[in-house]
Structure 1
Amino acid sequence: MNVSRRNYILMFLDKIFFINAMAFISINSVIPYFLDNLAASTFEVSLASVLAALGTLITQPIFSKIAMKLPYKLKTLVKILFLQRVLFLLFVISIPFVASKSPNLMIIVFLLCWGIFNLFVGCYGPLYSSIVAKLISNEQRGRLLGFGNAVGSIIAIGSSVLIGVLLDKVAYPYNYTIIFAIGVIILLADALIFHFMVNEAPDEVAKTDLGYFQYFQYIPKVFRRNKKFLQVVLGNSFFTVATMVLAYYSLYAIKKYNIGAAEIAIFNGIAMLVNILGNILLGIIADKLGHRLSLQYSAFFGFAAGIIVLTINNISAVYLAFALTSLCYCGYQLSSWIFIIEYSPKDEIPIYISINSMITLIISSIVLTISGIVIDRFSFQPVFILTLITGFGAYYIYKKLKK
């Protein structure tokens, strides 16, 4: 088999495997249910989400430095992924022995292991992005990621059904043991995919040797040296703020239109449909017209969502706004980090990706926290207005970035 074709197929399988693995270890569904069965407090449940973000932030400088010093990255990524997933497998094995006898201890063990798991997530951006940049041509990345996400999402529908069956038919805590075990096994198989990739060309090794705190001092220097990259990060920050409203559409519909379970299910259906069709459509646009245009169109969808939800007063408008914001998020996830590669020196791709991830993650966490307070004290309208403004801001910036 042709080497580039082999790598393309393996990278395509990686998307499918990873999406389905994380369906079984979902921070939005399976993990909250598991902690609820352990009688965890609301704080402990929310702490799981905090650890997911915090772990990634803490290790970004470390993995960026490692990636910048490695001419070959595949073997290192495989080792890190196996270590991450084997350690989490040890937690899964402990569930039948600890969960029923000592729920409080199980909560502590889970949060500790989940925190360690997410410390390793910091390697995904710096190492994975560099490997994609080397093994997949620029003209193929959009369709590869778009089609991979779409197929993975279709299969994930079946994974979600299986999770429901296991939760219902298998006794606690063995149901969660099996669910988490399936997820970890798929993740281990996913790590093995990278082992079979071949023909990795050596990268230029960065001359800059950054310590942990020097990493943060280096960020302003990067922005001063590369104004275009500063614009990209600003545009991506607007994107993250424009799409964080996805967390509030269903709550807004419940409070304003008093909808029930059947109407709530429509949001899930829309999310799945948009994720499948949006990834295919935007992946083709990215390859044919460029990732900048894909991001520009996606930002416009976010801007349009804000206008619709603010000006049209019915439940259909909420569904449409949710679909458009989902499409905005889909395009951002697909193209933002690939577009960064175009504005990065080859020897500094890992740190450029890392800087973008860190800044956007911090901004989205802060805005998400503040928006919750604003909604409780005032209403949803200020949040929707912010979505409209930041959606337009991202659109304007990516339009200005036209080469």
Structure 2
Amino acid sequence: MSSTSTAPPADSPAPAETETEAQRTRREGIEEHEARNLIVLACHQITLRIGWIFKTESVIMPAFLDIIAGAGWIRGILPTLNRLGQSVPPLIFADRMRHARVKSRVLMATSLSMAVPFLMLSVIWNSLEVKQQPWLPPLFLVLYLIFFSVTGLNQLAYGTVQGKLIQVQHRGRLMGVAGVVGSIAAVTAAWFMLKPWLGLPNGEGFTYVFAFNGIAFLIAGLIASTCREPADEHVEVPRRRLRDHVIRAWQVYRGDRTFRQAAHVAMLFITIMFLFPHFQWLGREKLGSSLQDLIYWVVAQNISVGVFSSLLGMVADRRGNRLAVRIAVFLTSLTPVVAILLASPLVEDGRRWFWLTFVLLGLVPVTMKTILNYTLELADETHHPRYLSTMTFCFAIPPLVFSAAFGSLIDLMPYQYPFLMVTGLIALGGLLTFRMAEPRHMSAEASTMVGD
């Protein structure tokens, strides 16, 4: 049975007089290898970024789905499956992640598993002479859900490994280094490979795109296997049903006011996912952009990820994650407005400038990581998996409930209305950041968290 108990601020070292010999040995082992592990985790994230640019959620995936299906309501399913996969599996796996003796092994296994759906898609797409098959859209959506289920576990593992091996004041640096170097590497790969592949007729290039995804994720898994991590003590993992995991997540939400305030911001911010598949549709349908234009949007988005990762990482390390989240959420709220303006007659040659929309979209993954880093500061290390999985579940709630409906709205009414609705919701989230606490300024008495 969970209960709320007073605890020291997250990530603070145990007082010397209460630290056992085993705890001291563990801490010294982590500190000894922190520099190496920071490099390893940065390389892991860089390699994931290189693979990820070839499956960008706002560009590549919906464009492929338009080729094999085409309806707005089907595009609207993508964010639902995305968040479903990244929320429920981590919620169920949080206890096992918490009690895993060597957590980086989970990071390795999930990274390798992320490759499987894309390697399958590459083989299937290459084998089809007639690309329009009635069974292909459902199969694609199933593989898409499987991929994001594994991705959700991978993100849980990465956050937990980071919380164990990297000190709080160095996590922004890790995000910045991985973001900048990852963007340069990903954009270079996209320019020399993705650009010509997207230019092949009848979508033939997706065979190579998906194969490259899979290979990159395999390499990322091998990199993760080189982490130096002291093993934790073996603990028997309690058996729980899905209902029990949901109850425990609810207890975190209800029992920790600071977490709850951040969760409200996260749920309003993530409404940007409603529009993720539709930005590329807007450019292609309203401005006449082609598949070749996708490369410029992908490049713009990934360069911005690198720039924003570095800038917000510095803000987070120096001034705290709360300020970084506030800046990022307000900037993200401008994205739908910029897209509307560029697609309107008010802007001459909007097709030429539509890449600016994707510059702002680069804030989305950076903001999510920053919110998760904020979440790490709300609990001690043993509670990181539960807090991370609960925040990830909060990210999932709005897309699960409303994303498909927003896809239908795009078909039924002028697109400006749903786009402006999302702008208003995100801006409200920005205002709510003023109610968030700064964990680094909280006293021990003020810091509470849900225990076991």
Return the TM-score normalized by structure 2: 0.72
Structure 1 residue 349 corresponds to structure 2 residue 372: no
Structure 2 distance, partners of 1:116, 1:85, is: 11
Indicate which of 126, 134, 137 corresponds to 1:104: 134
Indicate which of 359, 370, 373 corresponds to 1:335: 370
Distance 1:79 1:326, change over 3 A: closer
Structure 1 residue 168 corresponds to structure 2 residue 199: yes
In the TM superposition, what whole-angstrom CA distance separates every residue of 1:151-200 from its partner, at most 9, and x where no partner exists? 2222322333321202324x667532222111100110001111111134
| Runs ≥4 residues deviating over 6 A | 245-255, 264-269, 303-310, 318-321
Q: Which residue of 2 aligns with 1:361?
A: 396
Structure 2 distance, partners of 1:130, 1:43, is: 35
Residues 53, 361 of structure 1: 8 Å contact kept: yes
Residues 114, 150 of structure 2: 8 Å contact kept: yes
Q: CA deviation at 1:306?
A: 9.3
Higher mean alpha-carbon deviation, 159-168 vs 241-250, is at 241-250
Structure 1 distance, partners of 2:375, 2:317, is: 15
Identity rate, percent: 19
Q: Which residue of 1 aligns with 2:165?
A: 135
Which residues of structure 1 form unaligned runs of 5+?
none
In the TM superposition, what whole-angstrom CA distance separates every residue of 1:361-388 from its partner, at most 9, and x where no partner exists? 2124445455566775575344433333
Residues 150, 275 of structure 1: 8 Å contact kept: yes
Structure 2 distance, partners of 1:50, 1:139, is: 34
Structure 1 distance, partners of 2:45, 2:217, is: 11
Indicate which of 85, 98, 106 corresponds to 1:68: 98
Higher mean alpha-carbon deviation, 124-133 vs 183-192, is at 124-133
Distance 1:237 1:68, change over 3 A: same
Structure showing the higher helix proportion among its residues:
1
Structure 1 residue 94 corresponds to structure 2 residue 113: no
SS at match of 2:229: coil
Structure 1 distance, partners of 2:131, 2:311, is: 50
Indicate which of 224, 227, 235 corresponds to 2:257: 227
Residues 91, 109 of structure 1: 8 Å contact kept: no
Residues 298, 358 of structure 2: 8 Å contact kept: no
Structure 1 residue 236 corresponds to structure 2 residue 274: no
Structure 1 distance, partners of 2:355, 2:150, is: 37
Show the 5 A alignment for 1:185-200: 185-200=215-230
Show the 5 A alignment for 1:4-403: 4-38=34-68, 44-86=74-116, 88-98=118-128, 100=130, 103-161=133-191, 162-169=193-200, 175-202=205-232, 210-241=240-271, 261=289, 271-302=301-332, 326=361, 329=364, 331-369=366-404, 377=413, 379-380=416-417, 381-393=420-432, 395-398=433-436, 403=442
Residues 308, 363 of structure 2: 8 Å contact kept: no
Return the TM-score normalized by structure 1: 0.80
In the TM superposition, what whole-angstrom CA distance separates every residue of 1:302-340 from its partner, at most 9, and x where no partner exists? 578899999xx9659x98995896576365223110111
Q: CA deviation at 1:343?
A: 0.8
SS at match of 2:436: helix
In the TM superposition, what whole-angstrom CA distance separates every residue of 1:11-49 from its partner, at most 9, and x where no partner exists? 111121111202223343333444444456655555454
SS at match of 2:130: coil
Paired residue total: 396
SS at match of 1:193: helix
Q: CA deviation at 1:267?
A: 7.0
